[in-house]
Amino acid sequence: MSMPRRIAPFVLIAFATLPFSSCTCGSNSEPAPPKLATRAPGGFGSVTSRRPPDAPDSGLITPQAVETQPMPTISITPVSQSQIPDSFPKDVPIFDGAEVKTVQEMANKSNNVVFEVDADRAQVFKFYKDSMKKNGWKSEQEYDGKEQSFLSFKKDKTVTNVSVSTDPKTGKKFIAVMYYNEEPLPFPEF
């Protein structure tokens, strides 16, 4: 059985180029990278990691130390009644016996005055709801919950938000009166 003459040159060329092919048999190539963590049977995110062969299998994972930082503290500096800002709306009543605890200047030229009061939260809520309407304020929003209440009013361009809350640790009642003047938007409304 002889090869046809036309195929013989191609077979000869194929055998001749065989020694020049890229064979890595005996070359020093880098080992394959280690396998990544594999998912273990179990719940969401169960992962087992590959440990070095010389490491004992204790079954415990030791977390690395994390540097803890102290929680920021908010200091409330007591202020006197005379320290209510001059910008405080004159027609927003102050609950009888309320003591100013802090005054905060906030973004967009708004202010927040926090009062402490020794009264029932529901009584304070009703006082502001009724008094503000009598003074010409239009009610925008209201929420009356067990531990916190919120009222929002508007008069001309002034917006006043009144929240009444109970401190769960001390039981003290606080009234926060936040007010600001609405400014026109710096762009046309759409």
The predicted model gives 92-111 an average pLDDT of 90
Cβ atoms of 144 and 128 within 8 Å: the answer is: no
Q: Give all strands of the β-sheet with 99-106 in edge-to-edge order.
A: 99-106, 110-117, 173-181, 158-166, 148-155, 138-144
Tens of pLDDT, residue by residue over 104-117, are 988 888 899 999 99
pLDDT confidence bin for 185, thresholds 50/70/90:
confident
- Any domain includes 173: yes
Helix, coil or strand: residue 148:
strand
Instruction: Using the predicted structure, report yes or no on whether residue 4 has a pLDDT greater than 60.
Output: no
- Any domain includes 11: no
- Any domain includes 122: yes
Q: Work out the percent of the chain whose per-residue pLDDT is above 90.
A: 39
Note the pLDDT of residue 109: 84
> Which has more confidence, 109 or 142?
142
**Mean confidence (pLDDT) of the chain:** 77
- Any domain includes 89: yes
Note the pLDDT of residue 18: 57
Residue corresponding to tokens 């490491």:
55
Note the pLDDT of residue 76: 42
- Any domain includes 132: yes
Tens of pLDDT, residue by residue over 30-69, are 777 666 655 556 555 555 555 566 656 666 666 677 777 6
pLDDT confidence bin for 157, thresholds 50/70/90:
very high
**What is the domain range of residue 110?**
81-181
Q: How far is residue 23's CA from residue 26's CA, in Å, rounded to a whole number?
A: 8
- Any domain includes 29: no
- Any domain includes 3: no
Note the pLDDT of residue 36: 62
Cβ atoms of 87 and 111 within 8 Å: the answer is: yes
Cβ atoms of 135 and 91 within 8 Å: the answer is: yes
Note the pLDDT of residue 155: 95
- CATH number, domain of 101, equals 3.30.530
CA nearest to 166, candidates 100, 119, 104, 130: 119
- Any domain includes 92: yes
Q: How many domains does the chain have?
A: 1
| Residues facing residue 175 across a β-bridge | 115, 164
CA nearest to 99, candidates 180, 151, 172: 172
Tens of pLDDT, residue by residue over 70-89, are 755 443 444 445 588 889 99
